[in-house]
Amino acid sequence: MANQEYSPLIDSTSPIKPADKYGLAWVCFCILGVGLLFPFNCYIAASDYFVTLYPTVPYTFMMSLAYNYFQWVLLFVSLKLMPRFSFKSRISIFLILGAIILFFIPFIRMIFSNMKSSMAISLICTFLSGSIASLLFGSVLGLVGLFPMEYTGAVMSGNGVAGIIASLLRIITKVSVPDNSSGAKESSFLFFFLAAGVLVFCFLCFILLLNLPITKYYLAIYEAAKQTSHDSGSVNEDNGKNKKTVAIFPLIKKVWREALVVFTVFFTTLSLFPGITGIIQNIGHNELSQDWFQIILTFMFMIGDYIGRTIPKWIILFKPTNLWIPTFARLAFFPLFALCVKPLIFRSLAWYFIFMFIFSLSNGYCGTLAMMFGPTKAEEHEKEVTGIVMSFFLNFGIWVSTHFAFLVLYLVTGSSGISF
C-alpha cells in the first residue's frame, strides 16, 4: 500500500535531474523545518501566559518534560514503522494534528476552571503535541535525507526561523491588546490561533513540495535504490519482496560521530534553556520589566539559533572528525549561566545577552552541521533511516536533558522549584 501511495509522485523515466526552479524545494523544506519546532517554540514564547495561569509551579520545566518525554521512544519505534507509510500521508496528518492542538490550548482554562485539572490537561496536550512533533521530525528528516546536503541545512534553518516567528508573534500579540488581565487573555487566544495557522501554511507548502519535479526525481531514485539489483521492473511492482533492508546497528557505526555531536548539542541546550535561563532575574534595571526581559532574552536565543543554523549554507568551519571540539566546549555554559543566578556573579544585562547569543549561535551551527554530515555517510537506500536515526539521537539528547534540567535547577538554587 505504501508503494502505491508513492506512485503519483514518481517519475523514473527522466535520467536528468530537474532543476530546483526558483529554489522552491529549498524554501519548502525551510518552511517544513519551521513546522517541526514551531509548537515547542510557541510554548516557550508563551511562557508568560502559563506563568500567569500556574504561578505556584515551575511550568516551563514541566512543559519541557511533557513535550519531550517520549519523543526518543517514538523515534525508535518509527525506525521500523514509519517507512511503511508514504511521506505524504504521515507528514500531512502530523501537521494538521499539531495545528488542532495549538488551536485548542487557550480553551483549556475556560473549560477546566480548577487550576490543577487545567494544568494536567495542558500538560497532556503538550505531551501529545511533542509526540506528534517527534514523528513529524523523523519523517521530514527521512525525506530530506534523500536530497543533497544543503536541503538538510534548509530544514535546520527553518528550525531556527520557527523560534523567531513564535517570538515575534508573541511580541505582536502582547503589544496589540491592553496590558491588563483581560488583554492578556485576548493576546494569548490570538497568539495560539495564529500559531495554528502557521502549521496549516506549512502543510500547504508540503503539498507544493510533493508536486515539484525535483521531489519526484529523488523519490524515484530512493524507491529504485531499495530494489535488489536484479529487479528491472517498476519500482511499484513485486509488493516489496525484493527491497533492500537497512541494518540499524551497522548504520549507527557509520554515523556515530555525528550522532554523538547532535546528542551533546541538544542535551547541553535543553538542560539550560528554557529552565535555568528562564529564572535569570533582571536585577537593578527597572526600565525593563521581568516579563519583557524574558521575552527579549528568549528572542535573542531564537535570533542566534537561526543565524547558527543558516551559516552552514555558506561557511563550514569544521569537519565530521573535529566537530566534537566546539560541541564539548559548549559545556562551559553550565557554570556561566549558573553564575547568572546563584551565586550571582554576572549582574549586567550585557553579559546575559552575550552569553545567550553565543549559546544559541553555537547550538544552531553545531547541530546543523551534524545533521548535514550524517546522511552523507549512508548509502542511497539507507538515507531515510539515517534521517530517523539522527532524529532519534537529537531527541534522546533532549529527553535526557529534561531530567538533567531538574538536577541543574536543584544544584543552582537548592530547590526543585515544585510546590503546589
* Beta carbons within 8 Å of 316's beta carbon, 6+ residues apart: 369
For the beta carbon of residue 208, count every other beta carbon within 10 angstroms. 14
Instruction: With respect to residue 27, please indicate whether it lies within any of the assigned structural domains.
Output: yes
Three cell numbers written together for 281: 532575574
Q: In total, how many domains does the chain have?
A: 1
**C-alpha–C-alpha distance, residues 138 and 5, integer Å:** 19
Supply the CATH number for residue 262's domain: 1.20.1250.20
Q: What is the DSSP letter of 280?
A: -
Instruction: With respect to residue 42, please indicate whether it lies within any of the assigned structural domains.
Output: yes
Instruction: With respect to residue 236, please indicate whether it lies within any of the assigned structural domains.
Output: no
Q: What ranges in 235-289 are assigned the alpha helix state H?
A: 248-272
Three cell numbers written together for 68: 519531550
Q: What ranges in 273-382 are assigned the alpha helix state H?
A: 290-310, 324-329, 333-338, 349-376
Instruction: With respect to residue 230, please indicate whether it lies within any of the assigned structural domains.
Output: no
Instruction: With respect to residue 26, please indicate whether it lies within any of the assigned structural domains.
Output: yes
Domain of 92, in residue numbers? 21-211+245-413
Residue type, 307: I
Three cell numbers written together for 284: 537593578
pLDDT at site 39: 94
Which DSSP string corresponds to 138-186?
HHHHHHHTTS-HHHHHHHHHHHHHHHHHHHHHHHHHHHSS-SSHHHHHH
**Tell me: the pLDDT tens digits for 320-347?**
999 999 999 999 999 999 999 988 899 8
* Beta carbons within 8 Å of 238's beta carbon, 6+ residues apart: 227, 231
Instruction: With respect to residue 203, please indicate whether it lies within any of the assigned structural domains.
Output: yes
10-residue block means of pLDDT along the chain (420 residues)? 42 67 93 93 85 81 80 71 83 96 92 89 93 89 88 89 88 77 74 95 96 92 66 41 69 92 95 86 74 84 90 90 96 95 89 95 94 85 81 85 85 66
| Residue 107 Cα to chain centre, angstroms | 25
**Tell me: the pLDDT tens digits for 122-144?**
999 999 999 999 889 888 988 99
Instruction: With respect to residue 224, please indicate whether it lies within any of the assigned structural domains.
Output: no
For the beta carbon of residue 84, count every other beta carbon within 10 angstroms. 12
Instruction: With respect to residue 191, please indicate whether it lies within any of the assigned structural domains.
Output: yes
| Residue 420 Cα to chain centre, angstroms | 31
Q: In this structure, which long-range contacts are made by residues 325-332, counting pairs with CB atoms below 8 Å and at least 24 apart in sequence?
A: 326/362, 326/365, 326/366, 327/261, 327/264, 327/265, 327/366, 327/370, 328/264, 330/264, 330/265, 330/268, 330/269, 330/359, 330/362, 330/363, 330/366, 331/268
